[in-house]
Amino acid sequence: LRELKRTKKNKMKEIIRNMESFNNNLQGGKRLVKSLEKQSPVSILHAPQTPAMVAGSTSDGTPALLAGATSCGYRHVINPVNE
């Protein structure tokens, strides 16, 4: 019974430490977001430099969407589904 009480007490202390650590990380994250918002507007932080998808066609002329960085040689073609 004493061993159970000691284990329970240690687990509760561990839970409290974890909760305090989580709270500190959360507060630090909020401060970081506020400081980043002051440094530059959110639209600049999240705006993509190039479009994510571009209209194009496959080698046989079928319309498709091109996704990814085509200038780097990486390209993923999304073909339409014919029903």
| Statement: residue 62 has pLDDT above 90 | no
| Statement: residue 8 has pLDDT above 90 | yes
- Separation between Cα atoms, residue 16 and residue 10, nearest integer Å: 10
**Mean pLDDT, to the nearest integer, of 52-76?**
57
DSSP string over the chain: -HHHHHHHHHHHHHHHHHHHHHHHHHHHHHHHHHHHHHHS-HHHHH--SS-SEEEEE-TTS-EEEEES-GGGT--EEEPPPP-
Q: Tell whether pTM > 0.85.
A: no
**Mean pLDDT, to the nearest integer, of 32-61?**
65
Question: Mean pLDDT score of the chain, rounded to an integer?
Answer: 74
**Mean pLDDT, to the nearest integer, of 55-80?**
57
| Statement: residue 68 has pLDDT above 80 | no
